Amino acid sequence: GAVVSQHPSRVICKSGTSVKIECRSLDFQATTMFWYRQFPKQSLMLMATSNEGSKATYEQGVEKDKFLINHASLTLSTLTVTSAHPEDSSFYICSVRGPNLPGELFFGEGSRLTVL
């Protein structure tokens, strides 16, 4: 399988500031990474697909200027929540498509963002 690491696991910030979350694929090169958002007691909502060396593909309803995604290398994708507001408080999870089977994803441990 693939090992995926996210950092930070928890972050608290003031309203109006920007927060960057990193997602690393530790043991294999990932051309595609996915960013999900999970609200309390709800399912995962795909926010965007991060493609190495090109622009991310955002799902309908996700503001690309609000959630900046950069996939600069085959092992790192970053999600930056710009001008954060309390409603952006959530659990953000990245995942990497496994090297073997279509649809098999390996997930990071998630990053809990709290905006005061």
Partner 1 sequence: AQRVTQPEKLLSVFKGAPVELKCNYSYSGSPELFWYVQYSRQRLQLLLRHISRESIKGFTADLNKGETSFHLKKPFAQEEDSAMYYCALSSPAGNMLTFGGGTRLMVKP
Rounded Cα–Cα distance for residues 47 and 63 (Å): 9
Give the list of residues 6+ apart from residue 5 with CB closer than 8 angstroms, or none.
23, 24, 26, 108, 109
In angstroms, give the least distance from the CB of 75 to partner 1.
18
Q: Does 102 bind partner 1 (CB under 8 A)?
A: yes
Binding partner 1 by CB under 8 A: which of 14, 40, 43, 61? Answer: 43
In angstroms, give the least distance from the CB of 44 to partner 1.
5
In angstroms, give the least distance from the CB of 49 to partner 1.
7
Q: Does 93 bind partner 1 (CB under 8 A)?
A: yes
Contact window for partner 1 (CB under 8 A) among 17-25, 64-72, 81-89, 108-116? 108-116
